[in-house]
Chain A
Amino acid sequence: MFKRIDHVVIATEDIADATAKWERNLGLKATERVSRPLGSGFEVARLPVGDAFIELVQPVEETGRFAEQFRERGEGLFSISIEVDDLDAAVGYLRGKGARVSAPEPGIWPGSRVARISQSSAHGVSVQLIERR
């Protein structure tokens, strides 16, 4: 049911500098930049690696869900995104196991739907489930 790591989210205060460092150090290149996807308060860069990608995220507004979490946690690894075939089934399954999972909603990447497993249910890790259509 939980197929693969789709992407890893890394929070940064300076997406231009972070993008430059990932390219200089490891040769990972940003192939896509998205500004305020879905009306959110953040900038995003996508750096493909193997069958997955790194998603750099910089908050550009003081408010919003991501901005608050970012203030608490600062720069660094932020969450992992795991691909599932059937998001509704995966959410139902995990809730049945006692995990706290948010309701599915559209993801920032076209054609995707996502839900989040609470950090308290996943040993401190913010896990996003993603379904691609």
Chain B
Amino acid sequence: MIEKIHHVGIAVHSLDEALKFYSETLGLPVQASATVEEQGVRAALLTIGQSEIELLEPLSAESPVGKFLERKGEGLHHICFQTPDVGAELEGLKAKGVELVDQQPRKGLAGMICFLHPKASRGVLVELATPID
């Protein structure tokens, strides 16, 4: 079951530059920031209503976000939906034969997460997350 939009991910060249617009100008508070080595990013989550905006700066040009920037430039990267049980959701997707990036949930900035393949949603990279409190 999908509860809400957890966040929208935006790929940027520089987290500090992007924070000037999204945090300083728009006034969105930074709820968390971290370097996530496994995903090759420095990231910040900014609160907006019941959702968040996630800014992603690649750690290297070879990382997935680095390659995205090379190909498409800065902009919308993915959308993440919150679900109470990402593992159960993933099993349901497998049973339906939906194209996936992750076969098992893993730990991410938003909690336990997984990514669907963009093919599953006509070009949209979709993430599912179950926050860990």
Contacts and interface: CB of A to CB of B under 8 A. Distances in A.
Interface residues of A, number: 42
Interface in B51-94: 51, 73-79, 81-82, 93
A125 B121 contact: no
Given A2-B48, A5-B49, A51-B49, A27 B5 contact: no
A122 to B, nearest CB: 6
B122 A14 contact: yes
Nearest to B120: A25
B30 interface: no
Interface residues of B, number: 42
Nearest to B98: A25
Given A26-B81, A28-B2, A97 B25 contact: yes
A125 B122 contact: no
What secondary structure prevails in chain B residues at the interface with A?
mixed
A80 B98 CA distance: 25
Contact of A52 (B4, B77, B118): B4
Given A18-B122, A25-B98, A122 B21 contact: yes
A21 B121 contact: yes
Nearest to B8: A80
A49 B81 contact: yes
B10 interface: yes
A65 interface: no
Contacts of B18: 123
A69 interface: no
Given A1-B26, A50-B5, A52-B4, 14 more contacts: A4-B48, A4-B49, A8-B5, A22-B121, A25-B98, A26-B2, A50-B3, A50-B4, A51-B50, A77-B8, A77-B124, A123-B74, A125-B10, A125-B75
The 10 closest A-B pairs by CB, nearest first: A50-B4, A4-B49, A124-B74, A124-B75, A75-B123, A76-B123, A77-B76, A123-B74, A2-B26, A5-B51
